[in-house]
């Protein structure tokens, strides 16, 4: 990935077990260089979200834990720390499913994002969020429960920005959104990375959009990393094209059902 980019996050051969019984992650290793976007790709149930939760400490409330390996953030081992400790280090996760406080206004929701740095000025941060998400400006006095899906995604991402993240973990930001809104969300993610130098880990089933903005990607299946490479390499890889971008070797698009039936040909399963 280039020796010039020091890794901010290193996941080294971790295994994750739920309830001391169910193994979900099996020996996953990956690196996230400072200032880069790294994408985790794979089908539903591949272990992408569990990997994010292992980093953010959110396994604990679900009775999960890292049983082997280590997670190192900026030189400090963080696996199995509490979510509060990890948040204070500057690791902020935007959960799949978009969860604002529905009975608070947009602006009140954004101010919640400053909880990790209580009593510090926030007006400049609000201005920054409105700069990236101008559609929230008109809605700032609106209760969050009345927002559209796209506006809600912008709100939870804006709230995460208010916390000054050193590492931003985004879980399925495109989920359930119209294609036009998805393109806008990904354009904003790319701008935040380029302008704020925020390091981002992006979990996505929409491999096509993710690989357009990510610098590097890992493909996960059945709790393991089965392929990795820079985004250009992955976009051109015939297996990635066929199984994740829905394009056959001949260039024709495949239906999801056809792709599913072809999965038995995956060399790594």
Q: Calculate mean pLDDT across residues 23-27.
A: 90
Cα(269)–Cα(265) distance, rounded to whole angstroms? 8
Summarised one tens digit per residue, pLDDT across range 90-148 is 999 998 766 778 888 999 989 887 766 655 667 888 989 999 999 999 998 999 889 89
Answer yes or no: is pLDDT of 245 > 80: no
Domains observed in the chain? 7-90+166-236 (3.40.50.300), 100-164 (no CATH)
Q: Is the pTM of this model over 0.75?
A: yes
CB 165 within 8 A of CB 116: no
Helix, strand or coil, per DSSP, at residue 213: helix
Residue whose entry in the numeric block shows the structure tokens 């992006």:
202
Summarised one tens digit per residue, pLDDT across range 199-231 is 999 998 889 899 999 999 999 999 999 999 999
Q: Copy the structure tokens of residue 84.
A: 């509060």
């Amino acid at each position: 990935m280039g020796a010039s980019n020091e890794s901010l996050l290193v996941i080294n051969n971790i295994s994750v077990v739920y309830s001391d019984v169910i193994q979900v992650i099996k020996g996953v290793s990956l690196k996230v260089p400072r200032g880069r976007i790294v994408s985790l790709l794979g089908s539903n149930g591949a272990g992408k979200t569990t990997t994010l939760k292992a980093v953010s400490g959110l396994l604990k409330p679900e009775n999960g834990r890292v049983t082997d390996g280590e997670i190192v953030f900026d030189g400090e081992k963080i696996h199995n720390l509490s979510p509060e400790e990890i948040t204070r280090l500057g690791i902020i996760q935007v959960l799949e499913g978009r969860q604002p406080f529905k009975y608070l206004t947009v602006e009140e929701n954004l101010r919640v994002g400053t909880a990790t740095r209580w009593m510090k000025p926030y007006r400049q941060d609000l201005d920054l969020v409105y700069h990236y998400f101008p559609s929230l400006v008109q809605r700032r006095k609106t209760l969050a429960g009345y927002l559209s899906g796209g506006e809600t995604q912008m709100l939870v991402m804006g709230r995460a920005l208010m916390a000054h993240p050193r590492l931003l973990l985004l879980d399925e930001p495109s989920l359930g959104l119209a294609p036009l809104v998805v393109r806008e969300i990904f354009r904003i993610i790319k701008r935040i990375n380029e302008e704020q130098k925020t390091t981002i880990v992006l979990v996505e089933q929409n491999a096509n959009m993710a690989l357009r903005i990510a610098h590097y990607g890992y493909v996960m299946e059945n709790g393991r990393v089965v392929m990795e490479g820079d985004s250009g390499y992955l976009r051109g890889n015939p297996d990635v094209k066929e199984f994740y971008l829905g394009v056959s070797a001949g260039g024709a698009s495949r239906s999801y059902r056809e792709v599913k039936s072809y999965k038995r040909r995956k060399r790594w399963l």
